[in-house]
Amino acid sequence: MNRAGLGRWLVRFALPPVVLLAIVIAAWDAATVALSIEKYLLPRPGQVFLAAWGDRGKLLSAALVTGEAAACGFSLSFVGGLVVACVFSQSRVIQRSVYPYAIFLQTVPIIAVAPLIVVWFGYGFQSVVVVAFIISLFPIITNASTGLTAIDRNLLEWFELAGASRWQLLWKLRLPGSVPHLVVGAKISAGLAVVGAIVGEIFAGAAMHHDGLGNLINQTNNNARMDSMFAAVLTSTCLGIVIFGTVSLVGAWVLARWQGSVG
Amino acid sequence: MIAANTVGVTFPGGIQSLEDVNFSMPPGEFVSLVGPSGCGKSTLLRLIAGLASPTEGRLTVAGLPPAVARRRAARLSFVFQDATLLPWRTAAANIRLPLELAGVAAAERETRVRDGLWMVGLSDFAGRRPRELSGGMRMRVSLARALVTRPELLLLDEPFGALDDITRQRLNEDLLDLWLAHRWTAVFVTHNIAEAAFLSTRILVMSPRPGTITADVAVPFATPRRPELRFQADFAAFVGEVGRELRKGGV
């Protein structure tokens, strides 16, 4: 992209959300002043930014802790979901038997099973990873399953005629063919893993050596320090964007390599 | 090589696709199946490949049921109407695929892939992905992929149907040259009579559904054939004759 092109891109795609953000912040500030909203209910944007700046060390280390848990949960989901989808693709009987429980895993309110997770894995990092894993698993299973089974019929017949074994069919056709679907699943799953890690920290993360963003949100909320809590929530959002952006970039790179560039 | 005896196919739901199909095909022939859309040409090709089974009669390849024959007796390659290439593999890697599946040794594989690319005139495009190639080039890759296994039986299901006329004619000429050099048995499905007349040694004309063979015409032109053959009066007359046979079948 040349400089003029970059300029046009910035104006068309980067400027509108920035302008909207500025309007929202201005309206938020005006509302807190005009309606005399107390700081413990809704702090002014400036107070939030000051609190964020003051807590910057703590916020950064909390984001790293949460990010690590989210990355672990996401990695487990990716590998686990792909393995489950591979098994599904090999046997319709297994798929029909197991799929309802995968949906069950998706629909069970995570907060309801949080106490159980704590009983099994204890308070702290492990439980946080488990919650992130459970929340982010389903999109990988469904997207990978779709990718592994939605193969062009002619290609399947071509492989049959070429005498391919079941393993060759999986390894040389189904798995590489599922890459675009996997990328979509990974993007959804990565965002959910961050949500899962923070939810996990709020409900199962209370431990001596675990100080993630969820813990920080809990603490600041308990101390009625709304400006710091808002700062932690904003940092959580930023963390989500960073992880989603990273996975999207890696996904775009993988896809570009997968199908080649158009010369 | 191929023998069909009172072959019929009725699909679930009662639609009869083929009825009382009889023919035999010695090895080394290039036979075209010509007929209107929906007459069961592709179904017949799928029967020969062993991808489907007749509901009546009997069809054999090398004296065996087709699905058994392709595993034991006759190496078979199939070329589909679209190129059915793997988008993540380069042209060379697509051509290499059947050799990988068959467990051909790496050194032998590379030699055959090089030969395959050369055969279809794509040596300079080995590293390109399908989306970087034109429709005609993709079909060439598909053809090379079918030929690197050195098939004894080559089945082609309207492989050039989606290409423009010039590309189609060039590929016809190349395919004919390759056939003359290797002499696999070829069964070629098309609804283009001129294409069938240029390529084959024999044309089987099929009627509309339920398809059956209404004429078995020997092509009177000697091989090798030059592109100019298409502009000769006797070629046009022959194409007209086959066209009349087609219409007799009720098209």
* Structure confidence by residue, pLDDT tens digits, B38-65: 888 999 999 999 999 999 999 999 988 9
Would you say A202 and A212 are in contact if contact means Cβ atoms under 8 Å apart?
A: no
**Strand blocks (E) in B117-158:** 153-157
Residues B44 and B90 in one domain: no
Query: For A52-259, which CATH class?
Result: mainly alpha
CATH number of the structural domain spanning residue B179? 3.40.50.300
Shared domain for B138 and B167, answered yes or no, is no
pLDDT per position as a tens digit, A204-233: 877 667 789 999 999 998 888 899 999 999
What is the least distance, in Å, from the CA of B67 to any CA of chain A? 9
Helix (H, G, I), strand (E, B) or coil at B126: coil
Q: Reply yes or no on whether the pLDDT at A249 is more than 60.
A: yes
The answer to whether A120 faces chain B, any CB pair under 8 Å, is no
Q: Is residue B139 part of a domain?
A: yes
Residue A1, pLDDT score: 60
Given a cut of 80, is residue A200 above it in pLDDT?
Answer: yes
CA pair distance B236, A42, nearest whole angstrom: 88
When pLDDT is averaged across residues A49-57 and rounded to a whole number, the result is 93
Q: Which residue of B has its CA nearest to A169?
A: B101
pLDDT tens for A158-187 read 999 999 999 999 999 999 999 999 999 999
Nearest CA in chain B to A160: B51
pTM above 0.95, yes or no: no
Residues B197 and B94 in one domain: no
DSSP symbol at B88: T
Mean pLDDT within A2-19: 86
pLDDT one-digit tens code per residue, B129-179: 999 999 999 999 999 999 999 899 999 999 998 888 888 898 899 899 999
| B51–A157 CB contact, under 8 Å | yes
Beta-carbon separation of B88 and A159 below 8 A: no
Domain of B223, in residue numbers? 25-53+61-75+153-232
Q: Which residues contact A153 (CB under 8 A, 6 or more apart)?
A: none
CA distance A134 to A145: 17
B90-132 pLDDT, tens digit per residue, is 999 999 999 999 999 999 999 999 999 988 889 999 999 999 9
Query: How many independent structural domains does chain B possess?
Result: 2
Q: Tell me, yes or no, whether B46 and B165 share the same domain.
A: yes
CA distance B232 to chain A (A): 38
Whether residue A22 is predicted with pLDDT greater than 90 in this model: the reply is: yes
Domains of chain A, residue spans: 52-259
Has residue B251 got a pLDDT over 70?
A: no
> Is B239 contained in some domain?
no
Quick check: helix, strand or coil at residue B98? helix
Q: How confident is the model at residue A261 (pLDDT cuts 50, 70, 90)?
A: low
